[in-house]
Amino acid sequence: MYSVIVRGHMMIAHSFKGEVFGPAQRLHGATFVVDVEFRRPDLDADGIVIDIGRATEALTGILGGMNYRNLDEQPAFAGRNTTSEYLARVVFDRLVEAINRDEMGPGAAAVETIRVTLHESHVAAAAYEGAIPGHASR
């Protein structure tokens, strides 16, 4: 299995609901350094997994929709705790949508799985990894 991994980041405010979060129930924030790994079993004719330039642009666009914002005020997240693991899934879902809209070039259609990792500090991270829904080979 071949992979290409690209990195981006976003700086957001949010708060959590639930006793388990302790002081993180207060409004605070985070820098998320985001690594996205695209995987497919074979390389294309150019010898690549995906157009890394377009993949980076797509990631930048997705993170740009949350960057410098208070996620508590985003309608898309109403009633949800925007934990790192949940946001990893959000980025995954939006990447799948971008692939389905053909925004990452023809090679992206051959990507079978994606892993999104959000590093929230030097001692904590979260990830979501999954197959691309509807992909023929799975």
Chain residues in the site for a copy of itself (CB under 8 A): 1-9, 11-14, 16, 18, 20-24, 26-33, 37, 43, 46-49, 51-53, 56, 67-70, 80-86, 88-89, 105, 117, 120-130
CB of 117 to a copy of itself, least distance (A): 8
CB of 106 to a copy of itself, least distance (A): 10
Beta bridge partners of 113: 39, 131
> Residue 14 or residue 94: which is nearer to a copy of itself going by CB?
14
Q: Give the phi and the psi of residue 90 in degrees, each rounded to 5.
A: -60, -45
CB of 78 to a copy of itself, least distance (A): 13
Beta bridge partners of 72: none
> Please, how many CA atoms are within 13 Å of residue 131, restricted to the half-sphere of its CB?
7
Structure tokens at 112: 């079978």
